[in-house]
Structure 1
Amino acid sequence: MTASANAIRVLAGLLQARTGQELAVSRIWRIETSLKPLLRERGFDTIDALAAAVVLDRESELAGAVVDALLNNETYFFRDHAVFRLLDGPALDMIRAAREPRRRLRIWSAGCSTGQEAYSLAIMLADEGERWADWTIDILGTDVSRDAIERARLGRFSQFEIQRGLPVRVMLRWFDQVGESWIAKRQLRRMIRFERHNVLDRPPQPAHFDLILCRNVLLYFPAEARAGAFDRLSTAIAPDGVLMLGAGETVLGQTGKFTSERTLRGLYRPTAHHPHQSHRAA
């Protein structure tokens, strides 16, 4: 079922046109592995036949299904615990102090996939209910994948998904078992809203987010698209807001819109917030 060079070119081009993501040579294997279920479901014998059908109508529902299948939706609860320790400690302390007068916290989880990151944030805040009792908390989760966002809105996870990153006590406290699935409790779901969105598009409204998590998203973009995404993020964040990227991502050589937060390694601030600092990365 090996795909021809032309089929690979067609499908990789479709992914980049729809999402901005580049299917690098090292990730070409995703075409064959990710599209196998779709081939069976739609009755195509080969990837070349699927690519030919997409060429006939690049705006079809089939083309959208191909893009969704090619996206990397790898995620799990509290992915990279060091990140959440940083957030739950000094990062949120800093944001909370700045937002004390208005007592409103706005968080954007960009590239949220099926929602585990957004639900992890909600759990983290809900577990400190007294601390945030009189605050208005709005968590927005977005992803370019329609299928991922639909699943995130349901807040329904399999046994395998619920066990990835969640201790049993947390799982039992914040999720209800229904058959073989686990569903997030209403208290969590009402803290989060999910929207389909591409980070290359105009930011979700209203903007001015206090905290933006855009982790393991930009590393799939070519340099020009990555710079464009940083431009969009810079218009979405509050002037004194905080941006968190993935462990393998940085602003160094990518954008002048953000500068490292000197006291918190791995976090970034809008450059205008530190006009005296030169552009550098953590």
Structure 2
Amino acid sequence: MNMPLQAPPLGSAAHKIVTLLEQRTGQHLDVGRAWRIDSALQPMLRERGLSSLDELVARIAAGGRCEEGLADLVVDALLNQETSFFRDAGVLDLVLTAAMDMVAEAPRRLRIWSAACSTGQEPLSLAMLFSEAQERSGLPLPEIRATDISARALARARAGRYTQFEIQRGLSIRRMMAWFEVREEYWEAKAELRYRLLFAQQNLMSDPMPSGKFDIVLCRNVLMYLSPAARSQVLNRIAGVLRPGGLLVLGAGETVIGHTEALVPSECYRGLYRLAAH
């Protein structure tokens, strides 16, 4: 009888790095995904002349001015920044439909938050979508805030510069030509699009939440990496900044069920979530 293969246990240094990641971000890296540690941190080891994860962990533990921020760089390198333009386009179309319904019910400028925005493709997609809707129907442009825990990802998002490979993932030729300009080997989002976004660094677990209430919050493909306790904490914090009638958008494989009583599935917009009635 063949026994199922099991991933080898984490070494001491890898275990400390996994613990650091979870303490800082709430993300849990299980044994089956531990291969990401070596692949993500090898460039940092080479850059600093370190021969092993043990040396890296020792350097972090030693602290000192020369290694200030090293732990943050390790965490940043381990974050999954997978994203693309108009990812799950049908979901973004549903967001636009919900926004139009909200404005029709109570005309105003909506507030939208793209949480864990990575390198900026999601908020830029929203900006394009709402700009096009304004041209067609006069829908007021919303305030779009975009946050991420990674300073490196945010720097790229603010710059709005993407490679040929990145720009082709999810963008039609029409949108590429309408909203981006070629800058040497990159495609750069036009200033009129970038200036419609407000970026800020944000740790969903511990940093103060953005001020005010939001009509729509997108927090897609984040919960799947969090421990159960962290999922509940993040969902409850997001519920605290949703206005009555507001909506939460999660990734396709994510749900609020079993993680919070503050949010429930929306009856009007399939796959989205609203505040629970009290």
Task: Give the alignment's TM-score, normalised by structure 1.
Answer: 0.90
Q: Which residue of 2 aligns with 1:98?
A: 105
Q: Counterpart of 2:133 in 1: which secondary structure?
A: coil
Number of aligned positions between the proteins: 269
CA shift for structure 1 position 156? 1.0
1:220-279 Cα offsets, whole Å, 9 max, x none, are 11111111111110111111101010111101111001011112211000113xx4xxxx
Q: For 2:88, give the aligned amino acid.
A: D
- Counterparts of 1:85-234 in structure 2 under 5 Å? 85-89=93-97, 91-100=98-107, 103-130=108-135, 133=138, 135-234=140-239
Q: Counterpart of 2:162 in 1: which secondary structure?
A: strand
1:22 aligned onto 2:28: yes
CA contact (8 A) 2:110 2:143 kept: yes
Give the distance between the partners of 2:144 and 2:234, measured in 1 at CA: 20
CA shift for structure 1 position 202? 4.9
Pick one of 39, 50, 75 that aligns with 2:45.
39
Give the distance between the partners of 1:41 and 1:99, measured in 2 at CA: 55
Give the distance between the partners of 2:116 and 2:132, measured in 1 at CA: 24
User: What RMSD over aligned residues (CA atoms) do the two structures have, in Å?
Assistant: 2.0
Give the distance between the partners of 2:17 and 2:137, measured in 1 at CA: 46
CA shift for structure 1 position 98? 3.4
Q: Counterpart of 1:104 in 2: which secondary structure?
A: coil
CA shift for structure 1 position 129? 2.5
1:104-128 Cα offsets, whole Å, 9 max, x none, are 1110000100110000000101112
1:15-70 Cα offsets, whole Å, 9 max, x none, are 11111111122221110111122222222122221122122229832111111100
Q: Alpha carbons of 1:239 and 1:129: their partners in 2 closer, same or farther (altered >3 Å)?
A: same
CA contact (8 A) 2:217 2:249 kept: yes
Q: For 2:161, give the aligned amino acid.
A: R
Q: For 2:104, give the aligned amino acid.
A: A
1:67 aligned onto 2:75: yes
Where structure 1 has 5 or more consecutive residues not aligned to the other structure, the ranges are 276-282
Q: Alpha carbons of 1:210 and 1:3: their partners in 2 closer, same or farther (altered >3 Å)?
A: same
Q: Which residue of 2 aligns with 1:54?
A: 60
Q: Alpha carbons of 1:95 and 1:131: their partners in 2 closer, same or farther (altered >3 Å)?
A: farther
Task: Give the alignment's TM-score, normalised by structure 2.
Answer: 0.91
Query: Structure 1 stretches (4+) deviating beyond 6 angstroms?
Result: none
Q: Counterpart of 1:128 in 2: which secondary structure?
A: helix
Q: Counterpart of 1:241 in 2: which secondary structure?
A: strand
Q: Alpha carbons of 1:43 and 1:56: their partners in 2 closer, same or farther (altered >3 Å)?
A: same
Q: For 1:115, give the aligned amino acid.
A: G
Q: Which residue of 1 aligns with 2:255?
A: 250
Report % sequence identity.
Answer: 46
CA shift for structure 1 position 97? 2.3
Q: For 2:25, give the aligned amino acid.
A: T
1:9 aligned onto 2:15: yes
CA contact (8 A) 1:207 1:236 kept: yes
Q: Alpha carbons of 1:4 and 1:235: their partners in 2 closer, same or farther (altered >3 Å)?
A: closer
Q: For 1:63, give the aligned amino acid.
A: A
Q: Counterpart of 2:209 in 1: which secondary structure?
A: coil
Q: Which piece of structure 1 moves more, 207-216 or 196-205?
A: 196-205
CA shift for structure 1 position 132? 6.5
Pick one of 72, 81, 85 that aligns with 1:77.
85
CA shift for structure 1 position 4? 6.2
Where structure 2 has 5 or more consecutive residues not aligned to the other structure, the ranges are 1-7
